[in-house]
Structures are given as C-alpha cells and as structure tokens.
C-alpha cells in the first residue's frame, strides 16, 4: 500500500462516516459497488480521476483534499448571532486563512433548518480546498442554549466530516475573546441580551433566556417599547410621543396597522424599530428618554448581579453586540455603575476569534463546556 492510497483510504472513510453514509450508499451515489468502495477504503487502490471529481463534488471538497495528511490541523471558528454569522478558518498556529459572512443564524428566529443551511453555506465557502478531516471546529451559536438545540447543532456539524466538533453559544465566543481565562463578566447587548460570569474558568448565566423572559436591554426590548408607546398614544392611553410620528414616517402606517406584520415577522422585525427610540431621544422626546433609562437600568442590574461572585475589584465587564456602538450606551452604563467597582470594556476583538480560541482549547481538553 503506497502513501497516496493510505491517505486516500483514510480521508474517504472519514468523510463517508461523517456524512453518515454506508459503503453501499456511497457506491450507489457515484455508480459503483460496495466492493469497490471497500477496496478504496482499505487502500488497495485509488479510483480514476473522473471518480475523484465525483467524490469531491459529493463531499463538497477538492480532489487534493483526499490526499492531504491530517498531521497539520486547521481550526474553524463560527460566531452566529441574531443579525450576522462569521466563519474563520485558521492554520494550526491560528494564522487566519479565509473568512466568510452570512446572515444571522439564531434558530429561535429562523428555524433550525434555516440555521443549518446558513452554516452549511458558510462552511463550504470558508473551508474550500481543505479536507474537513483536518479541521477542528467550534460553533458558538445564539439561541442554542437548550440541550435539544445544542445536540442538533453538534450532530449537524459532526455530519460535515470534521476531525473534531465542539459547540456552545455566541457568549462563549465573547468570553474567550474578551476575558480569555481571566475572571470577569461578559455581556452581549444586541437583538437579544445575554450575560455570563466567568470565575475560575467556569461560567454562570445571569441573563439570556430569550425575549419571552429577558426584561430589557436588547434592541428587541427597545423596539418593543417604541411600538408599545406609539400604540398607547394611538389608543389615547399613553403620553404623546414623537415615536408615533417616526413609526408612521418609516412604515407609512399607523402603529395599530402593523400588528399583523409584527406577529408574523416576530422578534427581528420588532428590533428594527430600536433606532427610532434614539432618534426621538435626540429630539428631546421624554417617552423615548424614559425607554432608554429603563432598558439601561436593566443592563446595569444584570451587570451588578453577574459581578457579585467576583471578589477582585474593579470587575472587568466585556461588552459586545450592536448596541455597544450606540452613543447612549457607555455614558448610560457609566452613570449607573461605580467606576471603582466595574471596568467597562467594549470588545475590540471580533467574537469569531474567540470561537477559534475555543476550538483550540476544546481540542486541548482545556475548555470548560
């Protein structure tokens, strides 16, 4: 058995099993017998070039990948948020090779089948030319806190044929990127809100139960409060607010006429109204300013509770998510939090780098799952 036959046999077997195919099913897919597939996987022979191209197309890889050694591993990090998903493939030394972007992949927003399709597209794009059997992957996906969703993502990733697969939430990526192995608090304030305490390399969740239960601090909450205030004004039950006019201008409809669409399109659509709160506040609207104060009060309370187990002061509070860039965020949080007790640190690293770091740690059995 020559070296090329051995490499081909090993990589073919790994890809077939990763895609949960039997030798019979693989042979049928390319017009060959189970016996032929068995001979290839035992290293007795290598199929002709036309068959190699068939196999490469079937497994979404390249012909060259079948003859690559797994001595050098690659790391794939995936950071899946409500609004966007980033993929990053690096060398074993964590040197970036290729990145890709897709829309948000939170299964609570778009359904698990759509989440898988987005992940598949991004993975195929970023991993082209590299055999999955040489890749250690970590996928940190928002909305996968339940055991059921976590298992489904894990099984899906495993089916891609990766050498090793690990998964968690997008907060895991932020913790790794912002805190490393140090104690601190990580908070994501985007479409949703989530907060974790890291102490002695173990994490505890303080917030992040989804929009049915989290009470404020996310763009969903800002958007919800904007629509509610406008509806209250329209129904003669609330204060006059510029939010009513801004919603009319942006949609061409009265707030009450948006109700069917709101219930059809859900969380992301509601969150899209969040910018109107800040626009109204810029124009001295008291209702909008009250909404801002209420939501940032929720965030500060979450930070205080999350920081309680950490004795060393000031506590590092890593902030990530689209609201971090808003001009109101840091001043509002700084006003309500004692600077001697908390150090607010907007995340400067891309969270996907934390996903890569998690892949490395997991592979080295150095990551607390």
Condensed to tens digits (0 to 9), the pLDDT of residues 107-140 reads 988 999 999 999 999 999 999 888 888 899 999 9
Average pLDDT, rounded, for the chain: 91
Whether the per-residue pLDDT at 146 is higher than 90: the answer is no
Domains 74-168 and 182-347 share a fold: yes
The answer to whether the beta carbons of residues 195 and 208 sit under 8 Å apart is yes
Q: Is the pLDDT of residue 368 over 60?
A: no
Closest CA to 104 of 123, 79, 81: 81
Q: Which residues, other chains included, contact 359 with Cβ-Cβ below 8 Å and sequence gap of 6+? A: 75, 76, 77, 136, 137, 138, 166
Superfamily, domain 74-168: ATPase, nucleotide binding domain (3.30.420.40)
Q: What fold does the segment set 182-347 form as a domain?
A: Nucleotidyltransferase; domain 5 (3.30.420)
pLDDT value for 93:
82
250: CB partners within 8 A, 6+ apart? 273, 276
SS3 for 192-234, per residue?
Answer: CEEEEEEECCEEEEEECCCCCCCCCCCHHHHHHHHHHHHHHHH
Contacts 24+ apart (CB under 8 A), 29-34: 29/58, 30/54, 30/55, 30/58
Question: Cα–Cα distances in Å, from 284 out to 232, 248, 333?
Answer: 19, 18, 20
Q: Give me the mean pLDDT over the 145-151 stretch.
A: 86
Q: How confident is the model at residue 366 (pLDDT cuts 50, 70, 90)?
A: very low
pLDDT at residue 59 is higher than 50: yes
Domain 3-67 part of CATH 1.10.10.10: no
Q: What's the residue count for the chain?
A: 369
Peptide bond into 351 cis (omega under 30): no
| All structural domains of the chain with their residue ranges | 3-67, 74-168, 182-347
> Distance between CA atoms of 295 and 59, rounded to whole angstroms?
47
Cα 308 from chain centre: 27
**Strands 74-80 and 84-90, how do they pair?**
antiparallel
């Amino acid at each position: 058995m020559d070296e090329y036959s051995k490499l081909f046999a090993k990589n073919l077997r790994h890809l077939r099993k990763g895609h949960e195919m039997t030798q019979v099913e693989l042979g049928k897919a390319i017009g060959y017998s189970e016996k032929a597939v068995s001979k290839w996987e035992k290293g007795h022979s290598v199929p002709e070039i036309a068959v190699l191209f068939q196999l490469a197309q079937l497994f979404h890889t390249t012909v060259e990948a079948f003859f690559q050694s797994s001595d050098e591993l690659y790391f794939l990090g995936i950071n899946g948020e409500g609004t966007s998903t980033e993929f990053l493939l690096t060398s074993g030394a964590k040197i970036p090779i290729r990145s890709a972007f897709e829309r948000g992949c939170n299964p609570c927003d778009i359904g698990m089948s759509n989440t898988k399709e987005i992940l598949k597209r991004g993975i195929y794009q970023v991993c082209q030319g590299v055999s999955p059997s040489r890749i250690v992957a970590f996928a940190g996906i928002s909305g996968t806190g339940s055991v059921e969703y976590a298992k489904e993502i894990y099984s899906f990733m495993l089916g891609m044929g990766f050498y090793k697969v690990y998964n968690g939430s997008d907060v895991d990526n932020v913790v790794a990127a912002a805190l490393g192995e140090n104690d601190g608090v990580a908070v994501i304030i985007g479409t949703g809100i989530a907060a974790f305490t890291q102490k002695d390399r173990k994490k505890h969740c303080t917030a992040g139960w989804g929009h049915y239960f989290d009470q404020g601090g996310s763009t969903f909450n800002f958007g919800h409060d904007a629509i509610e205030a406008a509806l209250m004004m329209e129904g003669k039950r609330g204060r006059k607010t510029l939010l009513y006019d801004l919603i009319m201008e942006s949609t061409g409809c009265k707030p009450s006429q948006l109700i069917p669409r709101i219930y059809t399109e859900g969380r992301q659509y509601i969150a899209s109204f969040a910018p109107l709160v800040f626009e109204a506040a810029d124009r001295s609207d008291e209702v909008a300013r009250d909404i801002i104060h209420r939501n940032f009060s929720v965030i500060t309370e979450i930070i205080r509770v999350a920081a309680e187990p950490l004795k060393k002061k000031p506590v590092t509070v890593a902030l990530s998510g689209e609201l971090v860039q808003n001009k109101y965020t840091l001043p509002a949080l700084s006003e309500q939090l004692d600077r001697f007790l908390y150090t607010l640190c907007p995340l400067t690293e891309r969270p996907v780098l934390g996903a890569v770091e998690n892949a490395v740690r997991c592979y080295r059995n150095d990551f607390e799952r």
